[in-house]
């Protein structure tokens, strides 16, 4: 079912029409460049389930510190790889975006909570969930899960900015990427 929803009260005189798609009892919609979904009992800024991307990683000896656990900065590297692979799964290579469109992506803001350490030879899964794009940035929720029971190692919220590669100033996210994201939200990867 595809419907149009009228929002009022967003600003003193604003009315906004938003396309909505209902899938399995969850309403997906886009407003002001961000994606949201509504379950029957609440409204959330959580990512739409179809927007979750999973990337497997094995912990190598080089990833660990003197205590035999993953060095904290390496969790950020794992998350970076997952975001890169998410973009690749959408059909976009970062080197081509840089060379052909003159843009790149940089982390602008990061909040991370470490809950449980990963160790040498653990198999991890990095979940990258798009919370929503704006004109010049993506907001991600990322979680690193450990082992078969998928215990949570850490959670992060990451804002990634699109920038002009020469000036390192904000740039609009190309329409082709936003279109691919819209398709991912509605149809899944």
Domains of the chain, CATH where assigned: 2-44 (no CATH), 49-187 (3.10.129.10)
Per-residue confidence at 68, pLDDT binned at 50, 70, 90? very high
H/E element holding 108? strand 103-114
* 134-159 b/e (C-beta count within 10 Å ≥ 16 → b): bebbbbbbbbbbbeeeeeebbebebb
pLDDT at residue 189, as a whole number: 53
pLDDT at residue 52, as a whole number: 81
65 labelled catalytic: yes
The pTM for the full model equals 0.73
Higher per-residue pLDDT: 13 or 82: 82
Of 63, 65, 95, 164, catalytic? 65
Work out whether strand 151-164 and strand 15-23 pair parallel, antiparallel, or are unpaired: unpaired
pLDDT at residue 50, as a whole number: 43
């Amino acid at each position: 079912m595809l419907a149009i929803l009228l929002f009022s009260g967003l600003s003193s005189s604003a009315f906004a029409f938003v396309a909505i798609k209902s899938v399995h009892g969850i309403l997906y919609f886009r407003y002001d460049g961000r994606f949201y979904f509504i379950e029957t009992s609440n409204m959330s800024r959580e990512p739409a389930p179809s927007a979750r991307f999973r990337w497997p990683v094995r912990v190598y000896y080089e990833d660990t510190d003197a205590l035999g656990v993953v060095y904290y900065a390496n969790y950020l590297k794992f998350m970076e790889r997952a975001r890169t692979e998410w973009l690749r799964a959408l059909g976009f290579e970062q080197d081509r975006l840089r060379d052909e469109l003159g843009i790149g992506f940089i982390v602008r803001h990061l909040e991370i909570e470490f809950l449980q350490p990963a160790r040498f030879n653990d198999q991890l899964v990095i979940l990258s969930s798009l919370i929503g794009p704006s004109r010049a940035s993506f907001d991600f929720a990322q979680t690193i899960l450990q082992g078969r029971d998928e215990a949570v190692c850490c959670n992060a919220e990451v804002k990634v900015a699109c920038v002009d590669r020469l000036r390192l100033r904000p740039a609009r996210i190309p329409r082709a990427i936003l279109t691919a994201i819209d398709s991912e939200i509605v149809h899944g990867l």
